[in-house]
Amino acid sequence: MAKEVKTIGVLTSGGDAPGMNAAIRAVVRTAINKGMKVKGIMRGYAGLLQEEIIDMESTNVSNIIYRGGTILYTARCMEFMTPEGQELGAEICRKHGIDGLVVIGGDGSFRGAGKLAALGVNTVGVPGTIDLDIACTDYTIGFDTAVNTAMEAIDRVRDTSTSHERCSIIEVMGRNAGYIALWCGIANGAEDILLPERYDGNEQALINRIIANRKAGKKHNIIINAEGIGHSTSMARRIEAATGIETRATILGYMQRGGTPTCKDRVYASIMGAKAATLLAEGRSNRLVAYKNGEYVDFDIQEALQMKKDIPDEQYEISKMLVR
Ligand code: ADP
Ligand code: F6P
């Protein structure tokens, strides 16, 4: 029979995401409701190794559901990538009586959680990243807020771009993943979308489309460029030189990662956080909470990390078709 879980820990790791606070709140309150104690681990795995561990009561998570960022702070930690760092992390969990750990983060954070699970600390991951790039789940905490923030910002750039009859390259976040770019491309009616998963580097083809659009009477030309392709400023200079059309670059940057979470992010994060604490209460370990085909489910961490995710061809083709 699984050992009774008396105390769980919760940490946030990797890039922060709006809705992480809602997930923390759900973990803490679900655990307390199920008779467990909760410890908050500050600054992800870095804080674990530094033993930055605090007791968390229900009141510690009051008034946070609407706040962006993470009250536990987040960090990246090289030491935890080593077997020695992971051993130390597991030892610190044991020292503090932490029988189970909820890790809210992305792929890298789940790799760390898998290592702790192998060392005997029960772990459950909750997908928190604005990039939507975790294969086993259709939803990641923060994507909805980030994509709405980016969409609103792009609408504003579009207004001024139209007034000045300019071409605009707008860079959105996503180092390896183009989901924010794809969704904004569709939602903002962008003339072109450059995704790390798809872009072939053919700038001349892009220039030809801009010229054709101008001939067809388009007053602006919005190109959404994902961070993973980058170089928006130099690209704008080259496009202006080649087309004779004034071209500006706007890099939206970290404003996409902050801000008050949308209703969707708050609700999904609450359900996922509650599910994570429940799994630990049941003595489960090495699981990743996910939202798949309309249901909240959980996967083995290693199996989940082996799954592959790509931009859906249909969505990409539709995004292109709707602006021609
Ligand atoms: P994300 O979780 O958003 O993908 P990172 O890839 O930066 O962000 O990972 C966050 C942290 O998770 C890293 O700083 C490191 O401490 C830990 N981590 C990442 N990969 C591994 C790994 N292979 N083994 C152990 N820990 C890892
Ligand atoms: O949170 C995801 C993400 O925003 C990626 O799109 C981006 O590549 C990365 O984080 C950048 O994070 P940082 O600059 O904090 O390392």
Distances (CA, A) of 210 to 237, 238, 245, 246, 278: 14, 12, 9, 12, 53
Q: What does the alpha-carbon distance between residue 111 and residue 7 come to, in Å, rounded to a whole number?
A: 22
Q: In DSSP terms, which residues pair with 9 in a beta bridge?
A: 39, 101
pLDDT, tens digit (0-9, with 9 covering 90-100), for 11-20: 999 999 999 9
pLDDT tens, residue order, the chain (324 aa):
467 889 999 999 999 999 999 999 999 999 999 999 999 999 999 999 999 999 999 999 999 999 999 999 999 999 999 999 999 999 999 999 999 999 999 999 999 999 999 999 999 999 999 999 999 999 999 999 999 999 999 999 999 999 999 999 999 999 999 999 999 999 999 999 999 999 998 999 999 999 999 999 988 899 999 999 999 999 999 999 999 999 999 999 999 999 999 999 999 999 999 999 999 999 999 999 999 999 999 999 999 999 999 999 999 999 888 877
Of 131, 132, 195, the residue with max ligand 2 atoms within 8 A of its CB, to mutate for a pocket test, comes to: 131
Q: Are 245 and 239 in contact (CB under 8 A)?
A: yes
Q: Looking at ligand 1, which atom is closest to the CA of residue 80?
A: 16
Ligand closest to the CA atom of residue 128:
1
How do beta strands 287-292 and 295-300 pair?
antiparallel
* pLDDT recorded at residue 2: 60
* pLDDT recorded at residue 4: 80
Name the catalytic one among 16, 99, 131, 133.
131
Greatest Cα pair distance in the chain = 73
**Tally of CB atoms within 10 A around 164:** 13
Q: How far is the CA of 109 from the centre of ligand 1 (A)?
A: 4
In 43-96, beta strands by DSSP E: 53-56
Q: How far is the CA of 124 from the centre of ligand 2 (A)?
A: 22
Query: If you take atom 26 of ligand 1, which residue's CA is the nearest one?
Result: 112
Q: How far is the CA of 116 from the centre of ligand 2 (A)?
A: 24
Q: Cα-Cα-Cα-Cα dihedral of 113, 307, 129, 44, to 10°?
A: 10
DSSP string, 96-116: TT--EEEEEE-HHHHHHHHHH
Using a cut of 0.85, tell me whether the model's pTM lies above it: yes
pLDDT, tens digit (0-9, with 9 covering 90-100), for 115-147: 999 999 999 999 999 999 999 999 999 999 999
Is-catalytic flag, 131? yes
Q: Looking at ligand 1, which atom is closest to the CA of residue 15?
A: 3
119 lines ligand 1 (CB under 6 A): no
Whose CA is closest to 16, among 64, 67, 70, 62? Answer: 70
174 lines ligand 2 (CB under 6 A): yes
